[in-house]
Structure 1
Amino acid sequence: MDTAASQLHAEVNRLQHELQTLKVQYHAEDDELITVSEYILKRLEQLNVKSIFGVPGDFNMPFLDYIEDHPTIEWIGTCNELNAAYAADGYARVKEHSIGVVVTTFGVGELSAINGVAGAFSEMVPVLHIVGVPSTTQLKNKPMLHHTLGNGKFDVYTKAAENVTIAQAILMNKAQAAVEIDRILTECITNARPVYLTIPMDLTSEKISAKRLKVELSRAPPPNDPNVESYVLDEIMELVDDAKQDVVVLVDACAIRHDLRQEVDDLLVKTRFPVYAAPMGKTAVSEEHERYGGIYIGSVTDPSIKERVENANLILSIGALKSDFNTGMFTYHIPATHTIELHSDHTLVRHAKFPGIGMKSLLPKLTERLSKYQEGASRIPVPHYKLDVPKESDDKISHAYFWPRVGKFFRKQDIIVAETGTSNFGVLDVPMPDKSVFVSQILYGSIGWATACTLGAALAGRDKCLGRTILFTGDGSMQLTVQEISTMTRHKLTPIIFVLNNKGYNIERHLHGLDRKYNDIADWKWTSLLTTLGDMEGKMSKSYMVRSKSELNKLLDDDEFANAGKIQLVEVIMDKYDTPRALQAAADLTAKMAAGQV
């Protein structure tokens, strides 16, 4: 959506909400007064937020008092603000229909968190970043306060935030506080992007009317123009007819971010079209669905899947995000003439773009019209993708063996978090059980993200009564954000953490500098981490080291380990140069691109 259209949509939403609010306020008999802080928390309660992440600082602590005293929202104090932002990101990804919330202090705190917020912006994750700032008088007079740059420029941090959030609210008086809070939260939930809110210390306890809270915030996307939508549906149906029902559905990340899981499931049930997923769309569709064929990553794809997708007469792409790693280094071999793309704010039919025709409204209508093809589509075979555990002659743990083997360990409703790089590429080919949730950061790719993300993901999983939380990360990545293990222990979370110890940055080695020292790291005593970081008596955790296939199998087959009753860490010893198939293929493509051969 272009800037003008986005602004118009936001303004229409705001005016509609104001109209509803005025009607409620007009008919309300009483006018309860609550503080600005309580208003924010009431709105978050309505959005089903139960955890808020952050670090205390003198400018945000008046607001933290209200969080700590709240009956249903828990303050999750993290070891630093960057990790808090990563945790809020993970919370929002797993707890769909809610949002992640991170609270920092002015300047030093918010700048520490900004990388995590940027990742949420990049990958379309709804996160609210609340910043406690100096008093309104200080903001106006600009004295040389701590946490400033000492040059009287108090707006530099807000300017930085403008680049990684879709909307900002700078509260300066109580009169507009509720309106501004509602505005940015609406932007957050309708666009699936982070927003930024500042609260001056002297406004946290100011009283405002609670009447607006009687009107819940709208999640509805803007309506499609019915005439244009009808034309688009006719165009799509003509292409499906021409394709002689040989249609493949390709699901990607935005189907998750923009709440299309049910609509996609309805499409598959009523049409029986074969369905595949891009890496960022993994588990958007159940991987046990009888019409699911696997992951498509351009030239990095398993050959049998690649042939089926690329030879289809027509691709119906839902919620695509065509980043480099998500498309196999831009090697999608699907011509635009054979493609229909449905997005949250536009539709592409071959080379024609239809702005404002969003998939949330369009897809159910399209499904009803496509249902007549069910019988023919059912005859198209969809080989169910399997990843067998290979028989290898030695007892070393290779990537070719490890990933299929842990795939047998997964259960329904598991939350599986994979760090950018080796772990993410390794687990992509692994079929996951029904109702499992896969979490990764393929587009932004911030090293260390997964460990702190696991904190938020595990808390969201607890809220939703999901299964185990399982993290796969490398020794290099873990060193960036390892402190958050202590927060997991403190809050009695019980993730299973697999640390792949291959003596450094495996993905970097294979992208560039295989033997360079900058890809080496200091080795740690990984099996001592859990007792060092929170479980000092050693009663709440357990650690393991596995060096061989036999040791790995014994551990994975152990019921006590598999039931995840306590936080557990598994150090997996692997060869320094071994790497997953998909990562090696991507690295080879990257090298060719750098050399101008692609």
Structure 2
Amino acid sequence: MSTTTVSEYLLDRLAQMGVESVFGVPGDFSLQLAEKIIDHKTLDWIGTCNELNAAYAADGYSRVKGVPGCLSTTFGVGELSAINGIAGSFAERVPVIHIVGTPTTRQMKAKPLLHHTLGNGHFEAYSKAAQHFVVASATLSEPSTAGAEIDRVLVDCVTKSRPVYITLPTDLVNAIVPAVPLQTPLDFKDPENDTATEAVVLAEIEKQVSIAQERVVVIVDGCALRHGVANEVKDLLEKTKFPVFAAPMGKSSVDESYERFVGIYNGSPSLPAVKQTIERAALIISIGAIYSDINTGGFSHDLPKTKLIELHTDRTEVFHALYPRVGMKRLLPKLTAKLQTPACTMSIAPYTYPIPQEEHDGITQPWLWPTVGSYFEPGDVIVADTGTSAFGTLDIPLKTGSVYITQTLWGSIGYSVGAALGAALAARQCQMGRTYLFVGDGSLQLTVQELSTIMHLDLKPIIFVLNNSGYTIERFLHGPTRSFNDIVNWKWTKLLDALSDENTVSESYKVTTKTELDRLLSKPQFGEVTTLVEVVVPKFDAPPVLRRYLQ
């Protein structure tokens, strides 16, 4: 029987899943694993400036590449630094694998006064903290069970689309285990639906579609992205021609250049044409819904149960009736085949985001977002930080094959910088378009150092820094003129020079007028290297969708 080591078993499984990069910061309890990653034939080690950004990068990588993101940290100090990023992935339902190098199995039992511990013998404190933010964990302690434990949590990571946690003691890195299980790929298929219940669901949905006739619409949300049903949704839409919307967390789950795409629906802040189409629908088919506050416009979404069908990963709801064990992944193809009604001809308004005509030359947020959006190309990756950037990019129509990334539920400022690292790396591996990063001046100060890793890898993102003198979204919530919403105004156009080495080529610009920004975006060579654009906007200005949200 052929053999391998515990670490090689784990890394080979990652490679089989399509992972090509592992993010992290080396620490003495994880150094041996880092060496194994570097020596692996298909995996790359991506060193980040801190563990929090490694977690953010793994999250962004997963969202673009469609496989779990992976990070490696050391025991205690490293893993705790990453935990905010892991919690965000849990909330946002992103599959991430967190591998933690720990002291030896003997030390984990004897609990000596080791560095990176609390000094009280509570070696298990960190793993207990992690349990709140992962869907499964494996504490590797014996070579005989290591392979099975690794396989178990990796399957849970993919099928449940949430983070998992694996501890690897230093004395098990090179422990010998059988390699035979690696010959059998892991099974990530969704469980079969209950046959009898599924038949009832299909018949009931077909009946309600027939009753509603031309007044059926579809809303696609975040779990459709996370659980890989985009192709099934596309097939349904192409056959039925039902008008389709995306919720904020579902943005880019549907091709926004599709002729039957109506726009982003998030309750009262939605564009008027979007709300009108929803309101006149007789039947709403919701796919992968996540009813969080920002995702629903402060719970202002108008989706009455009496005309709502919900497809989820593990259940289906038709009006007030709940059908457990009927998941959307297996239901959707059968539903598409079942629906025999003629293609829907319900009229919809074209999805556009026109650039407003303003008499002055100063840059405003209502003008900024549709302007930059008009330069997007198919396959681009758009990363927006929490705040005005996330609200501003929400209504920009994206081109075919684009991916949109933000934290709608977790909302951790600074997330976008690390996420852009992972997203841009995944985009390069998938041969996608450019990566755009939109981040406010306040948010950027939290995680700015990861721009150095981005430049070191020559990922060439286009970075728009909104200089509005502090935390503008917080000003709208409370304390518009209070000092806690102010920040130090950095010399933003000097950042790339300060964070790169002498061999790095980058460009930085500061624009204060519409004319300057239009001229810059129209340059033929714009964005060919890592590019930072400082955009000066008024302190108390905000995107229209944010103003509607706060009304």
TM range (shorter): over 0.9
Gaps of 5+ in 1: 1-30, 589-598
How far apart in 2 are the matches of 1:479 and 1:536?
23
1:406-445 equivalences under 5 Å are 406-445=372-411
- Following TM superposition, where does structure 1 have runs of at least 4 consecutive aligned residues deviating by more than 3 angstroms? none
Name the structure 2 match of 1:448.
414
1:24-103 equivalences under 5 Å are 31-96=1-66, 98-103=67-72
Whether 2:476 is the aligned partner of 1:510: answer yes
Which shifted more, 303-312 or 337-346? Answer: 303-312
How far apart in 1 are the matches of 2:356 and 2:226?
35
Quick check: 2:215–2:280 contact (8 Å CA) kept in 1?
no
* Number of positions where the alignment pairs a residue of Structure 1 with one of Structure 2: 551
Per the TM alignment, residue 245 of structure 1 is displaced from its structure 2 partner at its CA by 3.3
Name the structure 1 match of 2:444.
478
Quick check: 1:133–1:201 contact (8 Å CA) kept in 2?
yes
Name the structure 1 match of 2:540.
577
Name the structure 2 match of 1:186.
155
TM-score, scaled to structure 2 = 0.99
SS in 2 for 1:560: coil
Gaps of 5+ in 2: none
Amino acid at match of 2:11: L
Name the structure 1 match of 2:491.
525
Quick check: 1:135–1:200 contact (8 Å CA) kept in 2?
yes
Amino acid at match of 1:55: V
Whether 2:304 is the aligned partner of 1:335: answer yes
Name the structure 2 match of 1:318.
287
Quick check: 2:235–2:336 contact (8 Å CA) kept in 1?
yes
Q: Deviations over 1:449-490 (max 9, x none)?
A: 001100000000011000000000100000000000000111
Whether 2:506 is the aligned partner of 1:541: answer yes
1:300-379 equivalences under 5 Å are 300-370=269-339, 372-375=340-343, 377=344, 379=345
How far apart in 1 are the matches of 2:416 and 2:472?
16
Per the TM alignment, residue 368 of structure 1 is displaced from its structure 2 partner at its CA by 1.1
Name the structure 1 match of 2:530.
567
How far apart in 1 are the matches of 2:412 and 2:468?
19
Name the structure 2 match of 1:130.
99
Per the TM alignment, residue 536 of structure 1 is displaced from its structure 2 partner at its CA by 3.6
How far apart in 2 are the matches of 1:576 and 1:362?
49
Which shifted more, 175-184 or 140-149? Answer: 140-149
1:178-257 equivalences under 5 Å are 178-257=147-226
Which shifted more, 60-69 or 237-246? Answer: 237-246
Provide the alpha-carbon RMSD of the alignment.
Answer: 0.9
SS in 1 for 2:159: helix
Q: Deviations over 1:66-88 (max 9, x none)?
A: 01111221101100000000000
Name the structure 1 match of 2:80.
111
Quick check: 2:73–2:99 contact (8 Å CA) kept in 1?
yes
Quick check: 2:388–2:543 contact (8 Å CA) kept in 1?
yes
How far apart in 1 are the matches of 2:529 and 2:412?
28
Per the TM alignment, residue 526 of structure 1 is displaced from its structure 2 partner at its CA by 0.5
How far apart in 2 are the matches of 1:567 and 1:422?
23
How far apart in 1 are the matches of 2:387 and 2:313?
28
SS in 2 for 1:176: helix
Quick check: 1:298–1:327 contact (8 Å CA) kept in 2?
yes
SS in 1 for 2:342: helix
How far apart in 2 are the matches of 1:573 and 1:206?
56
Amino acid at match of 2:516: E
How far apart in 1 are the matches of 2:29 and 2:337?
54
Per the TM alignment, residue 340 of structure 1 is displaced from its structure 2 partner at its CA by 0.3
2:355 to 364, 389, 398: 389
Per the TM alignment, residue 126 of structure 1 is displaced from its structure 2 partner at its CA by 0.5
Quick check: 1:245–1:373 contact (8 Å CA) kept in 2?
no
Amino acid at match of 1:70: H
How far apart in 2 are the matches of 1:558 and 1:66?
44
Whether 2:550 is the aligned partner of 1:587: answer yes
Name the structure 2 match of 1:283.
252
How far apart in 2 are the matches of 1:512 and 1:321?
27
Name the structure 2 match of 1:595.
none
Per the TM alignment, residue 535 of structure 1 is displaced from its structure 2 partner at its CA by 3.8
Amino acid at match of 2:518: N
| Identical-residue share of aligned pairs (%) | 53
How far apart in 2 are the matches of 1:301 and 1:512?
23
Per the TM alignment, residue 238 of structure 1 is displaced from its structure 2 partner at its CA by 1.9
Q: Deviations over 1:118-165 (max 9, x none)?
A: 000111101000000000000110111111111111111111111100
Per the TM alignment, residue 445 of structure 1 is displaced from its structure 2 partner at its CA by 0.4
Whether 2:237 is the aligned partner of 1:268: answer yes
Quick check: 1:468–1:495 contact (8 Å CA) kept in 2?
yes
Quick check: 1:249–1:316 contact (8 Å CA) kept in 2?
yes
How far apart in 2 are the matches of 1:571 and 1:504?
14
1:557 to 522, 526, 537: 522
How far apart in 1 are the matches of 2:127 and 2:8?
23
Q: Deviations over 1:414-442 (max 9, x none)?
A: 00101111001001111111111111111
Per the TM alignment, residue 397 of structure 1 is displaced from its structure 2 partner at its CA by 0.3
How far apart in 1 are the matches of 2:241 and 2:353?
24
Amino acid at match of 2:61: Y
SS in 2 for 1:112: helix
Quick check: 2:273–2:349 contact (8 Å CA) kept in 1?
no
How far apart in 1 are the matches of 2:188 and 2:42?
23
SS in 2 for 1:524: coil
SS in 1 for 2:236: helix
